[in-house]
Every structure is written in structure tokens, then in C-alpha cells.
Chains A and B, each alone.
Chain A
Amino acid sequence: MDLAFTQEQEQFRNDLRQWLKQNLDRPFLEEIRDPANDEDKLFEIRRRFQVKLNDAGYLGMDWPAEWGGRGATAVEKAIFQEEIFRADVPPIPNLLGVTLLAPALIHHGSEAQRRRFIPNILNCEEVWCQGFSEPGAGSDLAGLRTRAEPDGEDFRIYGQKVWTTFGPWADWIFVLARTDADDRHGGISFFLLPLDAEGIEVRGLRQITGESEFGEVFFDGALAKREHLVGALGEGWRIAMTVLSYERGSTSLAEPARNDRFLADLARGISERGTAQRADVREKLAWLLVENEVMRGNGYRTLAGLASGRSPGPEASIEKLLWSELAQRQSDAALELLGPQAHLRADSAHARPTMDWSREYLWSRAGTIYSGSSEIQRNIIAKRVLNLPTR
């Protein structure tokens, strides 16, 4: 048993910290955190930062060298995420293109598709969104009903996608659509479509935070060209499932690092309020600290598994449950312990300058729903680990 990083990994971290120090200069950070930013402005800032990261070789680190990879391991990717979260940089705007679509193309796409799309994913010329969930197919993704009808060599897409993250800013969408109504998993195919095509309409969906980071996408006969079918017909489900597994380990150290920042702010706020000696306050704060450390331990375990070449099975469900449920308890505690100031929205008078707990509180409700709800994660543990029977 050894949970220490290797010298190479420490070196990687030091280089990245240096790079972040140089590239996250004060004006840039102030620009990002300016409460007056609207969502378009913020998106543009994030786009610029992605280009910088790409130029420095920090995107697609584990891809083949041909596509800019540098042979990075899962541990280095996790260190990258950890440092990004520690530095409080907002996620790159083409997150779905970089983390999901590009690996899908590398492993399942044609050479022509790779050449056409990967460079523009990396330099953020084309922003991607993901068309998986539907109003009638969320946790039960394979129940999706959006269909692709043959039209000569090509296809016409009909149906509706929802919870489409970055939909309002995206240029392209990758879509799971049904090409065989009778084959639940084998009747799903993976298509790429430009969002400005005829027969596609994108609408923003207002979230409980007031933002519209995700949207709905309506398809009414939009053209999906044959050359934009990824893999073979009917391979969509398999591609989607393997692609979703590429990001294993990405939250392992990142979520605890984010919480380190949150907890530091919480402790500071408590001390400013003069309640740091109250027993109930101490107990709440200490439990958050403890749970975050326990979660980090679980993250190390996941990474150690990845480092020895094991793909995490149900540990991924544990990790998802741990971070998403802790995030809710943490922000809930913050609103209570920091009092009325923590309720103020970032652009309000007297708002806490360091941290928008009100947004965090609302945003944390999403974590237990997306990427497999807490209920689905517990089903996975019950069925695949404990082998409990289905009725």
C-alpha cells in the first residue's frame, strides 16, 4: 500500500501550478469573477482559457500523440482536475467535446471524422453539446425515442432532447437516435449534427439558479449525413457507454479540492461572525471536514485502482454518491452557519465577495440527479455489487 505520488507525478503537478500561476493573472481572475458578467460574457472568457490550456498541451493528455496526447495516465489527469478545481477556474466550455466526443471519435470514429472534428474541439472553434437525455428517457436512457429515418444515404432526425448542457452556446450536437424500434440497445445509433441545420430548434431552459446553462433541442426532420454517423448503425449504445467510462477518476481528487476551498471560506466566515467557539457550529464544520477527507481517501483508492490498470466498477457509484450528497450538506450548512449574508446573490449589495453560497446551495441539487441519479447509483450497488435480485 502506497498512496504517495511518484516523482514524475509531482513534477507534473509543479509544472501545472507554475503554468496556472502565470496564466491566471489577476486581471483574468477578476474578469472571470466579475458579478456583472452575463452568461455570454462568461462563456467567451472560458473559451479563451480553453484555448490557452490547449496551446499548453493540457487537453487530451491521454489521447494518441497524433491528436496532441502526451501519454498521460489517469493519475495525471486527476491531478490536472484537482489543480484546476483548486485554482477555482470555471470548467472549459467545450467540456463535452473534449471529454466525451473526442474520445468517442478516437476509438470509434472514422479517420475523416477525427480530422474534421478533433482540432476544432480542442481549439474551441466548434462547441459541442450532448443529445442523450429525453423528456421520457433520463435514468432509463435506452428508452429514448428520438428516431433517425433513412433518407437516401443519409438520415432525418425526429424527436426531442432535453437537459442539453451548453445547448444555448453550442455549434454542434452529438445525438443518440433510434434506428431500430424493436432492438432496445442495438437499435440506437450515434450521429453528429450542426445545430444551425434546418429542422433543429434550441431553446434555453431556465434552471432553479436562474441561469440557462442547459436547454432543449427539437428535431423535426433535421439532416444527419451518413458521413456523420459514428461507428456502425446500431453501435450507438455501446459507444455511449464506453465513452462515459473515459472520465473515470476525473472527480476523485477534484471534488475534495473544491471542498477545501469551500471549507476554508466557511471557516473564515464563521470566524468573522464570531461563532467559531459555538459547539454546534464546530460540530457541523468538523463533520464536513471529516467527510471531505473520507471522500478524498475514496478518491485515492479509485485512482490507485486506475493506476494499476483496473477500470473502476461500482466504486464510481460510491464516488458519485459521496460528492453529490456531501455538496448538498455542505452548502446547506453554509447557509445556516454563515447566516443571512450567505443568502445574498453574488450581484447583490453586501454579498460575500469570496463565495456565492446561494448559487452553490441551489446548484448542488443538480448533482444528485445528473449523470445517473443517486437512486440509480444505489441500484447499481445493490444489483452489481451486492447481487440483490430483481423481482
Chain B
Amino acid sequence: MQFELDEDRALLKQSTRELLDKEAPLEESRRIMEDSDLGFSKTLYAQLAELGYLGLTLTEAEGGAEVGCIGLVAVLEEMGRAAFPGPYLDLVLASEALRACDCDLAREWLGRIVAGDAIAVIARRDTLQADDAAPASAVFDGKQVAGSKLFVPFGSHADALIVTTRQGLVLVPRPGTGWNATPLETLDHAQRFVEIQLALPGTRLADAEQAQRALARVDRVAALGGAALALGLMERSLEMATQYTLEREAFGVPIATFQVLQHRQAEMFLQTEASRAAVYRAAWAVDSNEPNAALLVAAAKAYAGRAARFVCGASIQLHGGVGFTWEYDPHIFLKRTKTLEEFYGTTHQQLENALSAAGIA
């Protein structure tokens, strides 16, 4: 029995941290979140592709690194720590959808994503009321997709959308005139959501039945990936808060000496570490096809989502007034956790998944 990462994945995690420390320090990432229209660094994403980061879960035959979900969550944990901006997880999810479609077009686009030559994301929500689990209402008539999609992540600059329709998954390449897109600004200014109106030609990747299978896999990786990012966000939030309480003095002593603050930090640590155990165990279960993988993924996402909300919120509280300023960093982390909780498998959905996976109807 071994909880630690094997040598290859440990090395991958370590080199990811070094890369992000060097290329995506928080100061630089904040500049991108706040000032750039794109919301991420194209150069850095090209570099990630070159280093193989866009095919972690793929097999060698697919051009991937074959490090499985364990490798993926190790990388995502580091990206969470860095509050690394951009569509990394969205590209992974698009890849998961494409690899589940058995056609040349899907293979072609998968290859492009892995190589860093194209950005493709899934366009899924049709209405403000719908969550990811809702059936698609966009329509594909064999030639054209008609409908509108909300909360498409980093959609403005996508080279193609993988659109969920009543008839299955359809690939829609960006028209020469660009997308008919409206930005949707959420509380998380690191995120770039858009609403896209579709009356555009496309090609079917998967029929409705295949699409359902593909999206089930997408949902599983989304939940696992969201939980892993949340883990990284928590880790860094706790570190920042601890550092701050050691430096900040009140009543003539560092505020870290106050037991009420110590116990809050102890609880932050507990929930972070419990999340770590849950996230990695779930990743291991998916990679080894354990029969309880569905339960473990749901548990990891629900728990880490709630824990991240607590830990990142507590970090703001421990920072006091400056924690509420735009200038200090804690708010970035809280904002990211809320996006992950709502848009990468809601807590409500995970709880229902957990009940059904445990055989409680």
C-alpha cells in the first residue's frame, strides 16, 4: 500500500511547480486575469502543450503521456496552488469528450488540442436554469446547429466548440467572422465565460447515445479535476493565512499566538488534508477501475468543494481588513473555488451521485 506518487508522477508534480513558480507567479497571473481579454497566456499554453501537459490522461497511441487521473490531479493541484488562469481543465475535458467519439474528425481535433494548435471547449448549458446534467436543447439538423449556449468557458477565442445538441455532440469550427459571443462576467474575474449564439454549420461527432457516454466521462473528470484544483487553492490559502498571522502583530504579539486563530488554522489544515486523501484516492480508483470509483469521485468533489469554500473564506477572515482589499490575494482563491463548485459538477449533483453510487435511491 502506497499513498505517495510514483517517481514519474512525483517528478511531474515537482516540475509543474517549478514551471509555474517561474512562468506564472501570482503577480503575473493576476495581471492576466485583470487586464487581458484572453484570460490566459498563449505562449505559456503553447509551452504546456509542448511539454505534454495537454495529453496527460491520453494513451501513448493518442499522443498522450499516459499518467492517468493520478498524474492529472497532481498537475491540477499545482495549478490550483498557483491560481493558474486559463482553460487548462476545459481543454482536458474537451479531449475527454473527443476521445470518446469514434470518428476521424474527433481524432483530428484531439490531436490539435494535444499539440497546442487549437483551443476547443465544450458548449453545454442552454438556459440559465439548466445545470450540466440537463438534456441539451440545441438542435442539429444534419448540417447546422441552432441554439444558444451559456457559460462557455474561454469561448471567445476557441477555434471550435463541441456543442451538446438533442442529436448528440457536434463540432462547430469558428466561422471566419468570429463567434457571435457576449461576455458573461461572474464574480470570478479569472474566468472567461461567454454566451454564444449558434446558427452555424457543424459536423456530428457522436450520436445522442454516444454523447451520453462521453459526457459521463467528462463529468467524472470535471469533478475530479475541480476537486484537485480546489485542493491546491486551499493549500495556498492556508499557507498565505499562516504567513500573515505570523507577521501581523496586535496587542504587542503576532496574532498567530492567539488560540482561536490557531484552531481555525488547524481546522483549515484538517479539511485540506482530508481533501487531499479523498482526491488522490478517487483518482487512483478511476485509474484502476475500482467498482466504487463513482462514489469516491462524488465524495471528493462534494467534500473538497465545501472545504475550499471554508478554507479560502477563512483565509480572508484571518487576513482581516486587508483580506477584503482587491490588492491582497486571498479573494482570488475564494473566487476560483466558487467557479469550480458551480461549474464543474455542483455539490448537489455530487451528493445525488454519491447516494446512487452507494445504492441508496
Chain A residues close to B by CB (< 8 Å) = 1-6, 75, 267, 276, 282-283, 285-287, 289-291, 293-295, 297-298, 300-301, 303-305, 307-308, 315, 318, 321-322, 375, 377-379, 381-383, 385-386, 388-391
Contact = CB atoms under 8 A, between A and B. Distances in A.
A290 B257 contact: no
Interface stretch (B110-118, B164-172, B265-273, B319-327): B265-273
A237 B288 CA distance: 45
Q: Which 6 A-B pairs have the closest CB atoms?
A: A286-B351, A382-B262, A304-B3, A297-B277, A378-B266, A381-B266
A295 B299 CA distance: 10
Given A286-B352, A381-B269, A300 B3 contact: yes
Contacts of B256: 388-389
B129 interface: no
Contacts of B358: 289
Among B1, B246, B266, B281, chain A packs the most CB atoms within 10 A around the CB of B1
A152 B254 CA distance: 53
B250 interface: no
A261 to B, nearest CB: 13
A300 B277 CA distance: 8
B131 to A, nearest CB: 15
B269 A303 contact: no
A307 B2 contact: yes
Interface string B247-280: 0000001101111001101110110011111101
Contacts of B253: 391
B103 interface: no
Interface of B is mostly: helix
Interface of B: 1-6, 9, 70, 242, 245-246, 253-254, 256-259, 262-263, 265-267, 269-270, 273-278, 280-282, 284-285, 288, 295-296, 298-300, 302-303, 348, 350-352, 354-355, 358, 360-361
23 contacts: A1-B2, A1-B4, A286-B302, A286-B355, A289-B355, A290-B303, A293-B278, A293-B299, A295-B274, A297-B274, A298-B277, A300-B1, A301-B3, A301-B276, A301-B277, A303-B1, A304-B2, A318-B269, A378-B263, A378-B266, A381-B266, A389-B246, A389-B257
A322 B269 CA distance: 12
A390 B254 CA distance: 10
B351 A381 contact: no
Contacts of A283: 348, 351
Contacts of B302: 286-287, 290
A297 B298 CA distance: 13
A277 to B, nearest CB: 9
Contact of A293 (B245, B258, B276, B295): B295
A75 B257 contact: no
A299 to B, nearest CB: 8
A386 B273 contact: no
B270 A3 contact: no
A388 B3 contact: no
A167 B299 CA distance: 41
Contacts of A389: 246, 254, 256-257
A301 B2 CA distance: 8
Among B70, B267, B282, B299, chain A packs the most CB atoms within 10 A around the CB of B299
Contact of A297 (B278, B348, B355): B278
Contacts of A301: 3, 276-277, 281
Interface of A is mostly: helix
A13 to B, nearest CB: 13
Nearest to B5: A1
Given A282-B355, A300-B1, A388-B242, A321 B270 contact: yes
A279 to B, nearest CB: 9
A1 B283 CA distance: 10
Given A267-B360, A318-B274, A389-B246, A289 B354 contact: yes
Nearest to B272: A318
Given A3-B3, A322-B274, A297 B296 contact: yes
Contact of B284 (A2, A75, A287, A382): A2
Nearest to A299: B277
A289 B274 contact: no
Given A2-B2, A294-B303, A388 B270 contact: no
Contacts of A307: 1-2
B360 A1 contact: no
A14 to B, nearest CB: 17
Given A2-B284, A286-B354, A290-B298, A375 B263 contact: yes
Nearest to A385: B269
A1 B117 CA distance: 33
Contacts of B266: 377-379, 381-382, 386
A298 B273 contact: yes
A294 B299 contact: yes
Contacts of A293: 278, 295-296, 299, 354
B361 A304 contact: no
B355 A285 contact: yes
A386 B288 contact: no
Contacts of A303: 1
B143 to A, nearest CB: 42
B270 A322 contact: yes
B228 to A, nearest CB: 13
Contact of A2 (B1, B267, B355): B1
